[in-house]
Each structure stands twice: as structure tokens, then as C-alpha cells.
Structure 1
Amino acid sequence: MSNFHGDFSQNIDYVFKIVLIGDSAVGKSQLLARFARNEFSLDSKATIGVEFQTRTLAIDHKTVKAQIWDTAGQERYRAVTSAYYRGAVGAMLVYDITKRQSFDHVVRWLEELRGHADKNIVIMLVGNKTDLGHLRNVPSEDAKEFAERENLYFMETSALESTNVEMAFNTLLTEIYRTVSKKALVANEAESGGNSALLKGSNIVVPSAEPLSGGSKYSCCSSS
């Protein structure tokens, strides 16, 4: 998959809203800054409220604009919940590999996500801060097992060293594209077939997206 920074002369084919969730200080804003602007700030401040960044890239010869939303992990900002998740087609659930508590809280974040987001949302579990491997408190195996059990994609990253950040976002966006394009295909076939039950708005079952070639759905990408 090729991807580009900068403007595209052609029209945008898709806009995908992605939400970043997880405890505060796990590196959500740094992952976003690294992907959207290739920046990293050592003196990053806590996010206040909600903000988003965009980046345009090409997937399967289509122009996709990723609109990535970031919010504070602190409880006092959680009032924005329903509006934050509305329209999201993908989520990155982030924890800090050096903070066991941030991983233990993933269950609660996933519960909130599934309570507010679309049931077809594509979710990736991300263990950030692999540059602090000597302080690791969450074994990769624990996260892999959890991801497998919950049917999530999984990857470990370092926003500081720019390890797997691009790959994590690209994997998530590619799977969203596959899910959305399959959904559109099913809808088009139903319409052209004149199936009145489907045209009345009955639920259309979307086949689950296949994992990218070269690894399992929950495989962890090595940061070595």
C-alpha cells in the first residue's frame, strides 16, 4: 500500500473517523503526532477536551482521508463520550507496556467502546513505549492472548522511535477499507437484485475482514 503526505489532486473517496482511547499518559497524542505530522514532543502536555488530526493516503488506488480523534484519558473529560464515538469506523486502544494498570484498564475501555460505537468498528490494541523495554511490565503474550480472545488486531509501537506507528495505522485503515468496501458491495448487490427486504433497511451482515497477508490478526509486530 502506498501512502502520501500532502494534497491530492483527485477527490477524496473515503473519510474514516478513527478514535484513540486508553488511559492518560500512554502516548495517544504522541502516536497521532507521529502519524499525522511525523513529530514527537518530549514535553507533551495532557490533552484537554477533544481534538483531531487528518492525513490523506492511498489504499487500493482509493484516496482515503483518515480523521483521527484524540481525547483526554482522565475521567473528568469522559462527558464527551457519545459524540466522540459517533461515526467512528476504527479505534486504537492504547496502553503503556511499562504500566500494568494501563493494560488492566483496557477491559473497561473496550466495554465503553462497544457500548457506544458501531458494532462493525475495527479495533486495534496497541502497546506503546517499546523504547522503554527495560521497564516492561506487560508481556507481549498477555496482550496477544487478550487480543485473540476479544478479536482485536494487536501491535506494539514506539511513538518516540517511530517504530510500527505507520504500520499500526495503515493496518487499521486497510482493514476499515476492506470492511466498508465489502459492506458497499453487499448493499449494491442487494439493490440491483431488487430484494425488497434488504431495501427496507434490514441489517446487512458484513463478513469480517481478513487479516493482512503475512501474519495473524493478532500477531505482534516485532520492534527489533
Structure 2
Amino acid sequence: MRLPNMSSNFLLAPIPETADYFTVRDIQMAVMGTSSAGKTAMIVRFLTKKFIGDYETNTGNLYSRLVHIEGEQISLQIQDTPGCLQVEDDVAQAPDISRYVHWAEGFLLVYSITDYRSYQCIRPLYQQIRKVHSNSKIPIIIVANKGDLLHARQVPSDSGIQLANELGCAFVEISTSENCEDVCDVFQHLCKEISKVQTTSAGDKRRGSHVPRPKSPNMQDLKRRFKQALSSKVKTPSPVA
């Protein structure tokens, strides 16, 4: 499953201070992978694109920014997760990794095409996410980074595509250093997918709490009762003496 190209439809811009009429949507995403995958470079490249403006970095590598995406105001939070991953028995282990999995609403699983070990971490990371979000349609995109370093490639493109198809994820191969538009497309697509899930979940909650309207009364019955009420008020005329 490849990531669709949507650069021409994507707009990020600082939010005008006077746009009080917008409803702010909160979106939380996590970028996961080994330290060699280039996760931080992807995030910073995305957030420092010239028309985005300044961003804030909070404690624990959490990046926050108000952005304007396709006419909607979004409070975007991007968690850069620890890169010191270890894989044991197909389980990805890292400090506090479960906390990020519970927190995020969507994920970018990033590996470097020049590091086969980083590719091997993708499946265990996916399995960790599904343990927490087993019944969820939470969006996950597999990102093959450093696509410009073809001379040092250790992971063929076909391997990434095959893994993504097997796991049911979107897939894209990019070069953070050479093509900023591709990087923006990845974050754009994840934002859109998270928004879809949020909208669907909100609709399900509204339907679940909906109180059925009472049935309309039978009109024939109403007419009958109305006639009875009128007839009871009619006085019988007294006989003339």
C-alpha cells in the first residue's frame, strides 16, 4: 500500500490570531524507530518549512504547533520517541515505549534504507501498537528514510512494500535531506487519517447516546377522541312546555 501524493492539496500556515471562529482539533502522533532512522530530522524538517513558522519543543522531545491544514485549525503534537530500541523475541523494547503507544492517535514507523537493523524493528513496533490498539483503526505509516543514499542501501524497496502490505499499512520511501515535500506529505497523510478516525469515533458516540424520539400518536385515534369530547359537551334540548 503506497502513500498517495497529495502535495498540491496540502496547506500548512500559521493560524491568524483573529480566527476565533475555528474549532481547534487536537492531533497526537508518535514517530518511532531506531536512532539511525532519522526520525528527529524528519520532524524538524517538517516543522521548519518556511510557511509553518516557529514551533515549541516541550520536555521529552514533544513538539507542539498550531497549524492550519486544509481549512482546519489543528493543535498538532508530535512525539519523537527514544531511538535506543532493542528487539528480543519479536518485542521492541525501549524506555517508556508503552506510554507513547497509549498516548498517540497515529504512528510513523521509520527505518533507514542503509540500516537493516532499523528495518527489523518495524514489525515488533507494529505488534506493540496492536497490543494496545487491537480493535482500533489507528493509522500507521511505514516510512523508509534516507532514500538518497542508494549507494549504501541495505533494505530493498520491495522489502518495505512487502512488509507494509503484510501489516496493512501505508508505505512511502523518502529522502528527508533532499525532498521536503515528501516529508510534508507523510505528516499530512497521517493528520488526515487521524482526523477521519476522530470524526468516525465522535459520530459513533453521538449515535450511542441518542434518545429515540417518541412515536407520533395515531391520527385516527386522535380524531375519534376529539369527536367524543365534542359530543359530550352538546346539551340535549329540554322539551317545550
**TM superposition score normalised by structure 1:** 0.73
Residues 19, 69 of structure 1: 8 Å contact kept: yes
1:34 aligns with 2:45: yes
Amino acid at match of 1:139: P
Residues 2, 58 of structure 1: 8 Å contact kept: no
Amino acid at match of 1:98: T
Amino acid at match of 2:32: I
Alignment deviations for residues 19-63 of structure 1 (CA, whole Å, 9 cap, x no partner)? 011111210000000111239xxxxxxxxx931112333345321
1:54 aligns with 2:64: yes
Amino acid at match of 2:191: L
Q: 1:4 aligns with which of 12, 26, 47?
A: 12
Q: Relative to structure 1, is the Cα distance of residues 129 and 179 closer, same or farther in structure 2, using a 3 angstrom cutoff?
A: same
Distance of 2:178 and 2:10 partners within structure 1? 22
Instruction: Name the SS for the 2:96 alignment partner.
Output: helix
Partner of 1:222: none
Partner of 1:211: none
Alignment deviations for residues 46-88 of structure 1 (CA, whole Å, 9 cap, x no partner)? xxx9311123333453212220000221149923223222331
The alpha-carbon deviation at position 149 of structure 1 amounts to: 1.2
For structure 2, the 5+ residue unaligned runs are 1-8, 51-58, 87-92, 214-241
Partner of 1:137: 154
Instruction: Name the SS for the 2:94 alignment partner.
Output: helix
1:120 aligns with 2:137: yes
For structure 1, the 5+ residue unaligned runs are 40-48, 196-224
C-alpha root-mean-square deviation of aligned residues, in Å? 2.5
Instruction: Name the SS for the 1:50 alignment partner.
Output: coil
Alignment deviations for residues 129-185 of structure 1 (CA, whole Å, 9 cap, x no partner)? 011122222111111111111111111111111341000110111111112112212
Partner of 2:118: 102
Worse-matched range after superposition: 72-81 or 170-179: 72-81
Larger Rg: 2
Once superposed, which parts of structure 1, at least 4 consecutive aligned residues long, lie more than 6 Å away?
Answer: none
Instruction: Name the SS for the 1:113 alignment partner.
Output: helix
Distance of 1:71 and 1:167 partners within structure 2? 20
**TM superposition score normalised by structure 2:** 0.69
